[in-house]
Structure 1
């Protein structure tokens, strides 16, 4: 008697079934700390001051050279030798060169202030706060106010509930239905033209930092409306921090008066050319650096209970930012950011050596990219759109709703079985 072969049951599958799986790292912070030699945590005030002095010297030299640009290329001799059009091309080429390098130098000075905010510049808190306040105020950053929120960012990085900045939007934030609720037309949500996308990216690069300070743009969405860095009563600050917030505000007010007086003395156009555009470059470089550190399809974000400090610290990426110029002018802030998130008080000049030890210890959990940074900026801006509403380990999805990694199975719902404590 013959037996009929039962029909084969089709098992539904998803394109994401073939994605590589990610399991969060299991080490405690003290284990990672033990892998880094003690001498790399030593802060050398003289060495920090030498770097600051070099930055200020380079800025002064660039400024002095810029004073020669207009007189040189508007002179009769220059016009005779180069022609009127040639002299103008040479003049504006020199201004572009000035803005590029002075912007990088100003950014390096801002990085020194950032080091001070972390206490990495010197073992003396007084030296750190004095230099940090002056350098950041001169570059329109409220030192103490931003220091407070930035410290909280480091303490909670990659936490969906508590991080301060670059908190991903969720599917529900954008009004996108869950997968399985019918066919989703992602073009309806993300079908912008490349020109519009470029406009939005440029807007981010030039305005994101002031918008964050003033309006909490890209910050923690659970904060009340009108949260900002200038209100001493803001949720960002405690009552004990009120006075230092007022000091930061006083510094910015002094800058307003200083720039106003400079415009009256030398003219607004001169102030914009010598100072304004290099400062705008600082905003661009700072936002580009921090955005690319924290925004990449390969980087996880966490919900409780899977988040802990060391997992958040590892959710950053080191980048080969502008090659030697990034290393020299920007003090390695972009090249060695992962180690900075693990140990913010480590001086920047130990970043390269410390990263070698860190990478050897955490292995595949260390992220590095040598992709050209402007290409990386464009791709991350397009590929990092939102994360899911469910799950305790999350990865960005692109404009087609696709991710490049998926968490291991037990991390795909909010009821994860393993509760990880901070190491």
Structure 2
């Protein structure tokens, strides 16, 4: 743990410097920051097919030894941190739990790859492994997989985005949610993660009730099997609390909550920023390529090595969802110059940008292109 915390933040790479220089030379992206911002939708000097053609030939090849190594790494790191809990002083427990949450997120990263079919070439193994690893976030794999595909299908669409939705008006409920995320983190992050699983969606100042645990549109046998696995998980936790409440809380429930908090923070910071460069689109301006490029690559130092690169290269993932995440660095090195100012890449650790992003990304306004603005701005 000490060795992790003493690492230095990563130096800005040449890939990041090229992206920043290209963005600095672009015009019109920062001219309007308020509620009356009206900007034309971005036009790209490339197509998705041209991006595919620019990729190295082996970017979509799976390496099962790398995949196996990631399972071993996550298991070893999480096991070591759980062992650390047995003798760490009380004052150090919050740091250990934070590190453990990000380590357990490694299982969610593996389950995420399984959902996209990019972890192994065997669909049945992907489903089996994904069903187990997603329990680290209390998530039924098949239900989450189908909802996740909706997120990829409609990224940054005002009305159809599945995960991080957009609101034009503020309400007391949305204000309370922002307050909870700001001042109760990481507890607030886990509560929002859990409420999302139970069906909370905020859009246009209202809450919807689509549940990831049960949705009639996903009511097939595999969804029910995954739902049953989560029920068994909660039942095991309940039995643990009955027989050994202190140990269950310390070694099971709190670590799983920390994993859920890490999951929400990582996802949020991949789709929101503190500068106003990321936008959303209404139905008149949205295209799949425009939506995919409204994501940002971020460092989550000092925990990047625990996340298998799945969190670090999110732009590449939205452009090519079936590419194994360990091939994303090679892909982005080839694409950075082509994407130019349309590539969002922040090399500083996301932890120092979390609160500024919450401050900025309150509501949206505009026609076609939707810009973020503060509720009190």
Shorter-normalised TM-score: what interval?
0.7 to 0.9
| 1:75 equivalent in structure 2 | none
Answer yes or no: is 1:253 the counterpart of 2:237. no
Q: How many Å separate the matches in 2 of 1:197 and 1:364?
A: 30
Select 1:333's aligned residue among 310, 319, 325: 310
The whole-number CA distance in structure 1 between the counterparts of 2:185 and 2:239 is 33
Shift of 1:103: 1.9
1:190 and 1:399 in contact (8 A); partners too: no
Could you say what the CA RMSD is over the residues aligned between the two structures, in angstroms? Answer: 3.1
Q: How does 1:211-230 map to 2 (within 5 A)?
A: 211-218=195-202, 225-230=208-213
1:201–1:381 Cα contact (<8 Å) kept: no
Seen in structure 2, the aligned counterparts of structure 1 residues 174 and 64 have a Cα distance that, compared at 3 Å, is: closer
Output aligned runs, 1:43-54, within 5 Å. 43-54=62-73
**What secondary structure, in the 3-state scheme, does the structure 2 residue paired with 1:370 have?**
strand
Partner in structure 2 of residue 310 of structure 1: 289
TM-score (norm 1): 0.73
2:85 is matched with 66
**Could you give the per-residue CA deviations for residues 228-256 of structure 1, whole angstroms, max 9, x where no partner exists?**
112241xxx35xx5212211111011112
Query: Given the superposition, is the C-alpha separation of residues 216 and 197 from structure 1 closer, same or farther in structure 2, using an over 3 Å criterion?
Result: closer
Q: Aligned partners of 1:289, 1:117: CA distance in 2, in Å?
A: 18
Deviation at 1:114, TM superposition (A): 1.2
| 3-state SS of 1:38 partner | coil
Is the CA contact (8 Å cut-off) linking 2:118 and 2:323 kept in structure 1?
A: yes
Alignment match, 1:397: 373
SS of residue matched to 2:286: coil
State the aligned residue count. 342
**SS of residue matched to 1:40:** coil
Which residue of structure 2 lines up, in the alignment, with residue 40 of structure 1? 59
1:10-409 equivalences in 2 (<5 Å): 23-26=41-44, 27-67=46-86, 69=87, 91-170=89-168, 173-174=169-170, 198-199=182-183, 204-218=188-202, 225-233=208-216, 237-238=217-218, 242-265=220-243, 267-296=244-273, 297-323=276-302, 325-326=303-304, 328-388=305-365, 390-401=366-377
- The equivalent of 1:407 in structure 2 is none
Q: 1:245 to 1:191 in 2, by over 3 A?
A: closer
Secondary structure at the aligned position of 1:278 is classed as: helix
Give the drift of 1:310.
1.2
Q: CA 1:92 to 1:361, structure 2 compared with 1: closer, same or farther past 3 Å? A: same
Give the unaligned 5+ runs of structure 2: 1-31
The answer as to whether partners of 1:165 and 1:218 remain within 8 angstroms in 2 is no
What is the alpha-carbon distance in structure 2 between the residues aligned to residue 17 and residue 280 of structure 1? 36
Query: Match of 1:79?
Result: none
Q: CA deviation at 1:59?
A: 2.2
Q: Take 2:83 and 2:317, find their aligned partners in 1: how far apart are those partners?
A: 34
SS in 2 for 1:335: coil
Deviation at 1:174, TM superposition (A): 2.9
Structure 1: how far apart are the matches of 2:360 and 2:372? 7
Contact 2:111–2:129 (8 Å) recurs in 1:
yes
TM-score (norm 2): 0.81
Query: For residues 19 and 140 of structure 1, do their structure 2 counterparts lie closer, same or farther at Cα, with a shift above 3 Å needed?
Result: closer
- 1:240-295, Cα deviation, whole Å (9 max, x unpaired): x5212211111011112222233344x11111111222212111211111111111
Alpha-carbon separation, structure 2, partners of 1:47 and 1:141: 25
Contact 1:313-1:341 within 8 A present in 2 as well? yes
Aligned partners of 2:118 and 2:324 also within 8 Å: yes
Asked which structure has the greater RCO (Cα within 8 Å, sep 6+), the reply is 2
2: CA distance, partners of 1:220 / 1:229? 20
Deviation string for 1:344-379 (max 9, x for gaps)? 111111121111122121111000123442331111
Deviation at 1:17, TM superposition (A): 12
Cα offsets for 1:48-76 (capped at 9, x unmatched): 12210221122223333433x1xxxxxxx
State the distance in 2 between where 1:196 and 1:65 align.
29
Q: Distance in 2 between matches of 1:344 and 1:367?
A: 17
SS in 2 for 1:127: helix
Contact 1:314 1:338 in 2 (8 A): yes
